[in-house]
Chains A and B, each alone.
Chain A
Amino acid sequence: MALIELNDTSKLFGFGDATTLALDDANLVIERGEFVAVMGPSGSGKSTLMNIIGLLDRPSHGVFKLDGKNVSKLRPNRAARVRRDTIGFIFQSFNLLPRLTVLENVALPLAYKGVSLSKRLKMASNMLERVGIQDREYYLPNQLSGGQAQCAAIARALVNDPKLIIADEPTGNLDSAASRLVMELLSEVHKMGNTILFVTHNPELTRYATRVVYMHDGAIIHDEKTALGQVASTAKRALYRLPVTTEEDDLAGVSALMRALPGKPAVPTRKSTRKKAAKTAGPKGTSTRVKRIKK
């Protein structure tokens, strides 16, 4: 039984003329133990997909089965409990509570589960040891470096022993060394048997994934399995053709990547956003500068 099963799942935002289709009949099956990278330009529906899979949002149409159970119409409180017990979140901006110590932050999901104070602090401490920042237990989040903060966030995501870990651009705010640290940590977690779903703009990071899903305008347009340690072949094309200097360039790169995808028309036809993306990406796409991934 697949861990995640999306069946013609759609998500609409807004009303009337202002309606946007954030997720367009997505079909996706993710098995246990997969390490999935989700790529796509801004506004392509990656975050919406993550929110729906993470039970932070409900799909407008279609079915979402998590661990075999249909969870597409869960009430908020039930959804909160499922989030607590089966899903761990990692965010781009770490999202640690600034007034709690690292240890308390990591112990927080256990608190909502009702674990006693001493027990949950012990569990949190063990988890911090696993991610290698046990010596920072009593620091406040703003006293940590970005990489350490993200490690703490990973510890928090793992502390409830979730079946699924959702990471929304976990390396987006980190320099390349810290990115590497975080991704190595995630891949270790993956080796322990967890299923991980992460969003990235950096094609290089598909190296860690076993599967790469490409999204555009709310639709899943390409889905490829890759070998661990290999940059996904589709991503690679974009990687060597585009300079990767700023986030803006990143986005442009992914837009260019979209045009390079097999079986997809290079000229956008449906949405104005795509036209815009193509326009901005156009001149840069011709650049001959080579990749710049590690500083």
Chain B
Amino acid sequence: MRSITSGHVKAGLDSVRGAKWRNFWTILGVIIGVTSVITVVGIGEGIKQQITGQISQMGQDLITVRPSSLKATGSDSNNNLTLLSGLNVTGSLQKDDLDTISKLSGVSSASPLSAVSTNVVADTGKYSGGLTIGTGADLPSLLNQSLAYGAFIGADETDSNVAVLGKNAAAHMFKEDIPLGSTFKINGQEFLVRGIFNNFPATPLSEQADFNNAIFIPYNVAQSLTKNTAFIYEILAKSSSSSNVDKTTKNISAALLKNHGGQKDFAVLKPNENVAVSSGVLNLLTTLITGVAAISLLVGGIGIMNVMLVSVTERMHEIGIRKAIGATNRQIMSQFIIESSVLSVSGGAIGIALAYSIDGLLRLFTNLRPVISWQVVATATIVSLVIGIVFGTLPAVKAARKDPIDALRSS
């Protein structure tokens, strides 16, 4: 049986080679399906890994507090994406919430993250590439993020006009390589550059949320700049030890509930929950697009079936000859199933190659970092093989059942 199988794989490849264009159009559905599944799953996986990487970098004892109902202006949706990118969002977290959290036992340090709508003017002109974030002195230790040059805003500088820049922001705003000590203007006020961050392993969700593009200023200054309208979109708190993260989370929750008069309009997220929120959205998206791609695969399979049916009719005479010299029905059937499998697996292979090229292009031209795992590639290969077998069966059965005399008579 094996000797004949190898012959049929060759025959299948021959017939693919023989009618290149027709076969290309035939397997296009499979190609598109496989490519889109791998690409989408890869992008989702990449984003998840980036977020997870950030979380693990921040440490397993970092607790995130977020307003759970955000009033985004200009947009009805209030998911995480608008939270990170939107500017005119008012949150439910206030300065006294931050103070409450900082004073709680079990919390070693806490810092707010507050996005400020600003007008930044520096050496190279107006800078609008990133957020201006009002924050506290503990941010580098909370994020486990080191500075490349200078120092972060000190605890005694909470009311001074000093700023720390993300790596890309520094590069965009100033001509010199290391703009320490340079000044620039936010909303007309002069700020002194105190330090520059090392590269953040950034979340890719939005250019604006990328800390590498951000300008960090003291929270109090941010408040005065915006006449106390700067909202806190996130409070980061570090538990004093990673063993009592759960207890501290509960404490924060209880304390804030009291602050807000029993109204739970905020969310306290443990490190893992933080990932869960993002991956929930991602998983939904991935599932949806995978569904669409599955339909494309189905259509591709039907295309292969049609071409195989035509091929069986065209090659009736050949089937007759093969039967006359002793091919059994099963051998004829396996020949055609192998041929359709060769078609669909070549489609899968082209799809995988295409997905890798798209992955490369995405890495080059966007800040997405898709991850194509071998499991996805293996699944795609197996799925395309299964498509070949499933949709090849009907034509193969048709070929195998043909009466040898009728088949020989047809030309």
Residues of chain A touching chain B, judged by Cβ–Cβ distance below 8 Å, are 51, 54, 56-57, 76-77, 80-81, 83-85, 89, 91, 95-97, 99, 108-109, 111-117, 120, 156, 160
Q: In whole Å, how far is A233's beta carbon from the nearest beta carbon of chain B?
A: 34
| A108 contacts B3, C-beta separation under 8 Å | no
The residues of A that contact B323 with a CB separation of less than 8 Å are 56, 80
| A95 contacts B328, C-beta separation under 8 Å | no
| B7 contacts A117, C-beta separation under 8 Å | yes
**Interchain residue pairs A-B with the least CB separation, the first 10:** A84-B326, A80-B328, A77-B328, A109-B325, A95-B321, A112-B326, A83-B326, A56-B404, A112-B327, A89-B324
Which of A81, A95, A111, A120 meets B408, CB within 8 Å? A95
Between-chain CB contacts (< 8 Å), 17 pairs: A51-B405, A56-B323, A77-B328, A77-B330, A80-B326, A80-B329, A83-B325, A83-B326, A85-B326, A89-B325, A95-B324, A109-B325, A109-B326, A114-B4, A115-B3, A117-B7, A160-B326
The residues of A that contact B322 with a CB separation of less than 8 Å are 97, 108, 112
Is B1 part of the contact surface with A, judged by Cβ < 8 Å? Answer: yes
Which of B3, B317, B325 meets A114, CB within 8 Å? B3
The residues of B that contact A112 with a CB separation of less than 8 Å are 4, 322, 325-328, 331
| A54 contacts B4, C-beta separation under 8 Å | no
Is B176 part of the contact surface with A, judged by Cβ < 8 Å? Answer: no
Q: Which secondary structure dominates where chain A touches chain B? A: helix
| A77 contacts B408, C-beta separation under 8 Å | no
Q: In whole Å, how far is B389's beta carbon from the nearest beta carbon of chain A?
A: 21
Nearest chain A residue, comparing its CB with the CB of B409: A47
Is B318 part of the contact surface with A, judged by Cβ < 8 Å? Answer: yes
| A81 contacts B328, C-beta separation under 8 Å | yes
| B405 contacts A57, C-beta separation under 8 Å | yes
Is B18 part of the contact surface with A, judged by Cβ < 8 Å? Answer: yes
Name the interface size band of chain B.
20 to 34
Nearest chain A residue, comparing its CB with the CB of B6: A117
Is B273 part of the contact surface with A, judged by Cβ < 8 Å? Answer: no
Residues of B116-165 at the interface with A, using a CB-CB cut-off of 8 Å, are none
The residues of A that contact B317 with a CB separation of less than 8 Å are 95
| A77 contacts B404, C-beta separation under 8 Å | no
Nearest chain B residue, comparing its CB with the CB of A117: B3
| A80 contacts B327, C-beta separation under 8 Å | yes
Q: A51-B405, A95-B321, A95-B408 are in contact. Are A113 and B18 (CB under 8 A)?
A: no
| B321 contacts A81, C-beta separation under 8 Å | no
Residues of B173-200 at the interface with A, using a CB-CB cut-off of 8 Å, are none
Docked Cα-Cα span, A108 to B405, in Å, equals 19
Docked Cα-Cα span, A160 to B6, in Å, equals 20
| B405 contacts A111, C-beta separation under 8 Å | no
Is B14 part of the contact surface with A, judged by Cβ < 8 Å? Answer: yes
Nearest chain A residue, comparing its CB with the CB of B15: A99
The residues of A that contact B325 with a CB separation of less than 8 Å are 83-84, 89, 108-109, 112, 156
Q: In whole Å, how far is B142's beta carbon from the nearest beta carbon of chain A?
A: 67
Docked Cα-Cα span, A116 to B4, in Å, equals 8
Residues of chain B touching chain A, judged by Cβ–Cβ distance below 8 Å, are 1, 3-4, 6-7, 11, 14-15, 18, 317-318, 320-331, 404-405, 408
Q: In whole Å, how far is A73's beta carbon from the nearest beta carbon of chain B?
A: 16
Docked Cα-Cα span, A30 to B318, in Å, equals 30
Q: In whole Å, how far is A175's beta carbon from the nearest beta carbon of chain B?
A: 22
| A116 contacts B326, C-beta separation under 8 Å | no
| A56 contacts B18, C-beta separation under 8 Å | no
Q: In whole Å, how far is B175's beta carbon from the nearest beta carbon of chain A?
A: 69
The residues of B that contact A113 with a CB separation of less than 8 Å are 326
The residues of B that contact A81 with a CB separation of less than 8 Å are 326, 328
Q: In whole Å, how far is B406's beta carbon from the nearest beta carbon of chain A?
A: 10
The residues of A that contact B18 with a CB separation of less than 8 Å are 99
Docked Cα-Cα span, A91 to B326, in Å, equals 15
| A116 contacts B3, C-beta separation under 8 Å | yes
Nearest chain A residue, comparing its CB with the CB of B404: A56
Q: A108-B322, A117-B3, A120-B3 are in contact. Are A56 and B328 (CB under 8 A)?
A: no
Docked Cα-Cα span, A109 to B328, in Å, equals 11
Nearest chain B residue, comparing its CB with the CB of A51: B405
The residues of B that contact A160 with a CB separation of less than 8 Å are 326
Docked Cα-Cα span, A156 to B3, in Å, equals 18
The residues of A that contact B15 with a CB separation of less than 8 Å are 99
The residues of A that contact B321 with a CB separation of less than 8 Å are 95-97
Interface centre among B324, B328, B331 (most CB of A within 10 A): B324
Q: In whole Å, how far is B17's beta carbon from the nearest beta carbon of chain A?
A: 10
Q: In whole Å, how far is A168's beta carbon from the nearest beta carbon of chain B?
A: 10
Q: A80-B328, A89-B324 are in contact. List 17 more A-B contacts (CB 8 A).
A: A56-B323, A56-B408, A77-B330, A80-B323, A80-B326, A80-B329, A83-B324, A83-B325, A83-B326, A99-B14, A108-B325, A112-B4, A112-B327, A112-B331, A113-B326, A114-B1, A114-B3
Q: In whole Å, how far is A46's beta carbon from the nearest beta carbon of chain B?
A: 14
| B329 contacts A77, C-beta separation under 8 Å | yes
Docked Cα-Cα span, A83 to B326, in Å, equals 5
Q: In whole Å, how far is A74's beta carbon from the nearest beta carbon of chain B?
A: 12
Q: In whole Å, how far is A97's beta carbon from the nearest beta carbon of chain B?
A: 6
The residues of A that contact B324 with a CB separation of less than 8 Å are 54, 56, 83, 89, 95
Q: In whole Å, how far is B3's beta carbon from the nearest beta carbon of chain A?
A: 5
The residues of A that contact B327 with a CB separation of less than 8 Å are 80, 84, 112
| B4 contacts A97, C-beta separation under 8 Å | no
Q: In whole Å, how far is A275's beta carbon from the nearest beta carbon of chain B?
A: 26
Nearest chain B residue, comparing its CB with the CB of A76: B329
Docked Cα-Cα span, A56 to B3, in Å, equals 25
Q: In whole Å, how far is A16's beta carbon from the nearest beta carbon of chain B?
A: 20
The residues of B that contact A156 with a CB separation of less than 8 Å are 325
Q: In whole Å, how far is B324's beta carbon from the nearest beta carbon of chain A?
A: 5
Docked Cα-Cα span, A208 to B330, in Å, equals 39
Nearest chain B residue, comparing its CB with the CB of A88: B325
Docked Cα-Cα span, A114 to B6, in Å, equals 11
Interface centre among B317, B328, B405 (most CB of A within 10 A): B328
Docked Cα-Cα span, A120 to B325, in Å, equals 15
The residues of B that contact A51 with a CB separation of less than 8 Å are 405
The residues of A that contact B320 with a CB separation of less than 8 Å are 95
